[in-house]
Amino acid sequence: MLQVKTLSTLFYKDDSIIKAVDDFSFYIEKGETLGLLGESGSGKSTVALSILRLISKPGKIVSGAIELDGQDILKLSDKEIINIRGAKLSMIFQDPFSSLNPVFTIGDQIAETISLHQKLSKKESWRKAKEMLQKVQIDPDRIRNYPHQFSGGMRQRVMIAMALSCQPEFLIADEPTTALDVTIQEGVLKLIKDLQRELGFGMIFITHNFRIAKKVCDRFCVMQKGKLVEEGSQVFNKPQKPYTKKLVDCMNLLYA
Ligand SMILES: Nc1ncnc2c1ncn2[C@@H]1O[C@H](COP(=O)(O)OP(=O)(O)O)[C@@H](O)[C@H]1O
Ligand SMILES: [Mg+2]
């Protein structure tokens, strides 16, 4: 289980302090999908980056705990967190191009992730990388291609292959289809859900698109200005808070 307890993450600006995440708590079990919802700027990505300990200046996690199977990630050394990132906790981002290195082949990048966490020979890592490509429905013969040789949807599949290559317990997907053409969003979403069924990871699915959230998630957390507004599976059918109701009405208009 992954438990975020009273997490606060701040950004220090020249003349002000932004409480991007403010006393925020939630949990997620393996195998389930938690939707993290909220309008732009509500703190969703900051929650994600805090969990992976990827917050850097001017940001800082100032309080709380992030417990993975009872162990507080915030107490780990930098070296220990590197062992967890990619192996037990993994993330895919909105823009697959900026997270891939343009000067290395996709095989280099997937195999590197694999060999970082698993004691495999170079040959074995490449074999596993090919296996992962197959899982995300990319022809393994393209393993020596560079990121620019793929379409946006395929690059996101490559990112998914990399994120899942070490069988993480939890995957954080931050707006994973927002940058993609509507026509290929469905395919990528289906792939993520199929792989979740096969591999059993828990997923934090971040989106501002409620139509997608309804399809993909079991349970939801609604965020506003860094705070938890409402939590549960009733968010769409029976929103309890006026803010949630307003947000749902607004999204229904947008994505009807
Ligand atoms: N690197 C940063 N430096 C300064 N402020 C930031 C930074 N990242 C996020 N913020 C601020 O934190 C708040 C939450 O942002 P974010 O977590 O990106 O929201 P969301 O993902 O929900 O759109 C916003 O007010 C944003 O401006
Ligand atoms: Mg964001």
Number of domains, the chain = 1
- Here the CATH number for the domain that contains residue 34 is 3.40.50.300
Question: What is the reported pLDDT for 253?
Answer: 74
Instruction: Compute the distance from residue 175 Cα to the ligand 2 centre, in Å.
Output: 7
The per-residue pLDDT for range 2-58, each reduced to its tens digit, is 999 999 999 999 999 999 999 999 999 999 999 999 989 999 999 999 999 999 999
Q: Output the CA angle 32-92-46, nearest 5 degrees.
A: 85
- Ligand at minimal distance from the CA of 93 is 2
Give the pLDDT score at 256: 57
**At 115, which helix (H) or strand (E)?**
helix 106-117
Quote the tokens at residue 61: 């996690």
Residues with CB under 6 A from ligand 1: 11, 18, 20, 38, 40-46, 58-59
Contact between residue 181 and residue 153 where contact means Cβ atoms under 8 Å apart: yes
pLDDT of 99 reads 81
- From 4, 15, 46, 205, the mutation candidate for ligand 1 (largest count of ligand atoms within 8 A of CB) is 46
Amino acid letter, residue 21: V
pTM over 0.85: yes
Below-50 pLDDT ranges, the chain: none
Three-state SS for 235? coil
Q: What's the confidence (pLDDT) of residue 248?
A: 85
Among protein residues, the one with the nearest Cα to ligand 1's atom 6 is 11
pLDDT of residue 19: 97
Range of the domain at 231: 2-254
pLDDT in tens, 184-197: 999 999 999 999 99
Asked whether 120 and 127 are in contact (CB, 8 A), the reply is no
